[in-house]
Structure 1
Amino acid sequence: MSLLRQPILLLSRSAQVKRLVTTLPVTSGIVTGYVPGETSDTAVTASRALIDGGLDVTLDFLGEDTLDAQQAEATVAAYVEVLKALSVAGLTRHAEVSVKLSAIGQALPDHGHKIALENARTICRAARNAGTTVTLDMEDHTTTDSTLAVLRDLRKDFPETGAVLQAYLHRTEDDCRSLAYEGSRVRLCKGAYHEPESVAFQDKLDVDKSYVRCLKILLAGDGYPMVATHDPRMVEIASSLASRYGRAQQTYEFQMLYGIRPGEQRRLAASGEKVRVYVPYGGEWYGYLMRRLAERPQNLSFFAKSLISKS
């Protein structure tokens, strides 16, 4: 699978392949399997269905690496809109939003960090007014320090703001120690970016070991851990560690992506665990879809045959 992942990710940047994908009827089912739609209405509808099924959600308006200030502002407006819609629908008790700082200006020249911080403040304020919270997504390692700096500033006024840490980075155990304090919400994932050996573990086993070490720090700490994994073994280990450290159910949560292991999501929720589903939506779904395809080998041959027959 590692041999296929990089070519698929390269395809995600191909405008020609994107045109093929968006005109293939067969792909529509694949798209809606991972992304419920492009509008806030579709995001709220999907959220309601998941919440009615006993799950919580976090909504991500898709888009990243923007170098356009107007696009960043449009992304902020989209978050404000969906937060209002969630509030009107009475869903904010079980729904929050996840935000990539690169989508709201972090990479803009000269003042990107400041712009992203102010835009994040706007979203956090809208979330608080709606009765919910924001989690800052983590991106590639070059943005980690900036993202954590924004987090520190935001938490002065919005201490409920969530963080994300990626276990494949060498630094993450130390970051976990820094963030495992009372009131701190931390999502731990393995990491999804192609990182150099100098900053990240390359072997899957080493990443898994790091994930477990980080889990121990977070579950033994005073914060609120959010365990983001689809790995059955990691789910089992997290449950065992939670018991070891005297963690009651609902004092931590599991997180999984929309469309991935929905049966396991429901099973965990039925057992009393809090489970939050990461629900992406918006017009910039193509890159996200291709990353998910790169991770799901059972979809690759089906998808490739569709492209070949179309071309």
Structure 2
Amino acid sequence: MRSVVASEPLPSPSVTSRALPRLASNPLRPVILAAAKSPRVRALVTTAPPTRRLVDRFVAGDTRPDALAATKALLGTGRAVSIDHLGEDTTDLAQARAIVVEYEALIADLAPLVERDAPMSAVEVSVKLTALGLALGAEGPGIALGHARQICAAAAAAGVWVTVDAEDHTTTDATLSIVRRLREDFPWVGAVLQAYLRRTEADCRDLSGPGSRVRLCKGAYREPASVAYQDSAEVDASYLRCLRVLMAGQGYPMVASHDPAIVAAAGPLAAEYARGPDGFEHQMLYGIRDLEQRRLAGAGLRMRVYVPYGAQWYGYLMRRLAERPSNLRFFLRSVVSRD
């Protein structure tokens, strides 16, 4: 498979040391995120028998057929999906190319599920640029752009949407630069912004133009205080400020949060800026607040579920544990339970 190198230089992700955050929502968050980088902890967790039950809660499965089965079930309940083939921090070009091949096969399998005359696509894929080669040295941004273009071209032919995921803050400039380049040919490509980053309110203003799809989430990586809010109340306040910017703009806000206060605030904010139910959507993760997802969809609101699959689930799982104490309690119960 041929990789396309960008004709103009793109910013490369920088490498910085990351300070431990102090998010009040989960005091063990820094410990868990540190463990996510530990090969010893990874080996222990991935081989522990109870882990599979936890993985099955948050991950649709290891294979594409698993993801397709989960997708069909969710679509049958009136929910939309965004499917992520798990993998990031790719340091091998052959591996990056293999991930592109997997996405192309996934999109081909999703094509029969697409309603071509619908005003929005209920079927989307999410991609991480480090999985596509962003970290492959000076040429990484160009390689990732070329691979992302291949995925977008396949998606455009199939009627499937694409959203480019956010990663840690060292990749933000390169990621948003690539999103802008992709939108020259594929204006429907979605971007993801993380409310805990201090820069995000300004990024929301930059990306709130006509037709711009923006997924706003709180953020799940270890970040230093110099670039990210460390207190959960500050993160919540930032989220609501950012969401207001997006609702006031001309784009399409995607409210990616399980927080009941934020979910409750989305509707009134949309109404304040004359947005109907088709002017924004809620997004939640597979396996989290399923009843609330069903409630929102049943109320006529757009509800999209982020569906991850693949064998490289460890980093994703650890970020889910770090986000909410209830996720960690679920895991610990699984460890001590005989069931």
Which runs of structure 2 are paired with 1:96-245 in the superposition (5 Å)? 96-245=124-273
The correspondence for 1:75, drawn from 83, 99, 122, is 99
Flag the 1:210–1:309 CA change in 2: closer, same or farther, 3 A.
closer
Q: For the structure 1 residues 309 and 223, does the alpha-carbon distance in structure 2 shift closer, same or farther, using more than 3 Å as the test?
A: closer
Contact (CA 8 Å) 1:20, 1:307: kept in 2 or not? no
Match of 1:253 among 258, 275, 281: 281
CA distances 1:178-224 after superposition (whole Å, capped 9, x unpaired): 11111110111111111111111112111111111111111111111
Return the alpha-carbon distance in structure 2 between the equivalents of residues 4 and 129 of structure 1: 45
Instruction: Decide whether aligned partners of structure 1 residues 278 and 306 sit closer, same or farther in structure 2, where only a CA change above 3 A counts.
Output: closer
In 2: Cα distance, 1:22 partner to 1:106 partner: 26
The letter for the 2-side match of 1:137 is D
Contact residue 127 and residue 164 of structure 2 kept, 8 A:
yes
CA shift digits 1:239-273 (9 cap, x unpaired): 11011111000211000000010110010111111
SS of corresponding position for 1:187: strand
Distance 2:254 2:114 in 1: 23
Deviations 1:95-115 (A, max 9, x none): 100111011000101200100
Cα deviation, residue 160, structure 1: 0.7
SS at match of 2:67: helix
The alpha-carbon deviation at position 22 of structure 1 amounts to: 3.7
Letter in 1 for 2:83: L
Between 1:80-89 and 1:216-225, the stretch displaced more is 80-89
CA distance in 2, matches of 1:286, 1:42: 17
Q: Distance in 2 between matches of 1:300 and 1:182?
A: 40
State the match for 2:71 in structure 1: 47
Instruction: String of CA shifts for 1:43-68, please: whole Å, max 9, x gaps.
Output: 11100000001100000111111111
Normalised to the residue count of structure 1, the TM-score between the two structures is: 0.94
For 2:15, the equivalent position in structure 1 comes to none
Q: Is the 8 A contact 1:35 1:258 kept in 2?
A: yes
Equivalent position to 1:38, from 62, 65, 90: 62
Asked whether the 8 Å contact 2:218–2:235 carries over to 1, the reply is yes
**What code does the residue aligned with 1:9 have?**
L
Number of aligned residue pairs: 310
The structure richer in helix per residue is 1
TM-score (norm 2): 0.87
Unpaired stretches in structure 2, ≥5 consecutive residues: 1-24
Q: Is the contact made by 1:21 and 1:307 (CA closer than 8 Å) also made in structure 2?
A: no
- Name 1:57's counterpart in structure 2: 81
Aligned in 2, Cα 1:22/1:30: closer, same or farther, shift over 3 Å? same
What is the CA-CA distance between 1:285 and the residue it aligns to? 0.7
On the 8 A contact 1:155/1:161 being kept in 2, the answer is: yes
Compared with structure 1, are the counterparts of its residues 269 and 294 closer, same or farther at alpha carbon in structure 2 (3 Å cutoff)? same
CA contact (8 A) 1:106 1:112 kept: yes
Please give the alpha-carbon distance, in whole angstroms, between the structure 1 residues aligned to 2:265 and 2:332. 36
Q: Which residue of 1 aligns with 2:319?
A: 291
Q: Matched residues in 1 for 2:130 and 2:37: separation?
A: 17
